[in-house]
Amino acid sequence: MKQKAEENMKVDMLAELPWSEYAARLEAGATVLVPVGANEQHGHHLPLGTDTVEVLAACRVAAAHGDFLIAPPIAYGYASQIRSAAGNHWPGNISLQSSTLVAVVSDVVRSLIRHGAKRIAVINAHYENTWYLLDACEQVSKEVVQAGSDTRIVAMMCWDAVSPEVWHEVDATSGNVPLDLAHAGVLETSAMLHIAGEQVHEDRVQEASYVTFPPYDVFPQDPTGLPETGSLSSPSGSTADLGRTIVDDMGTNMARLLNEAFEKPAVERNLPLR
């Protein structure tokens, strides 16, 4: 009975399926999620793979609310910047050049299209990836249009799926911290306490003031004045319960928003230039 029950369970991880079952799921209209994270420092208390762990968890929650397949995550991202991730000089920051990231994501999406995927969503958790993932999706979408295909591609930052009500709960603990300063703070620490609490070193959490930056970037990157922890806001007050609320809300809303995006009528012509 146990073996039969396990056979009937829906598998959402693309890499865990035989090719024939994968093909059948695509034929039936499954949406493929491509999680993109990073390997970068997240303070003394969080693991280097935090972004990848978080985006994969959000995708798993989304998959419980619809017909979604989760592609193997892309675990490396664009170089961390001073004003959003405390810079790229930290040990453990393994980064891709922008052209490499665009090429990797484009090739993955092209492969999915070749397999017959009609609905593809590139889901990001690493702030600095954003514009390069948009570039990759834009490049492939031009090929899709030229080929006359009805495949649609969506790019989404997973944190943008968090509802205002849950952001209010986060702010009640952290203060009004913008997303670019949430690096290794309450938002991410709470999420990780829920997803992979055994990887969080709570004894290393340190109270810290929020970092403020001038409105410009300097190159070569200048780490002067950065907190020695690598956190851009304080993780104090983080809890697994808050993390569960964040991740469940994010994943559930992702599923709803993606379904809405794919169900909108396709654009039949380019808008005129203005």
Please list the active-site residues.
40, 42, 51, 126, 128, 183, 188
129: CB partners within 8 A, 6+ apart? 36, 38, 77, 78, 101
* Sign of the CA dihedral running 44, 126, 14, 105: negative
Task: Find residue 78's DSSP bridge partners.
Answer: 96
Q: Report DSSP state, residue 42.
A: B
Task: Find residue 153's DSSP bridge partners.
Answer: 120
Question: First-to-last CA distance in the chain?
Answer: 64
Among 186, 165, 161, 192, residue whose Cα is nearest residue 62: 161
Helix ranges, the chain (H): 2-8, 19-27, 50-63, 82-85, 98-115, 130-146, 164-174, 186-196, 240-263
44: CB partners within 8 A, 6+ apart? 201, 204, 206, 229, 230
8 A C-beta contact, residue 225 and residue 121: no
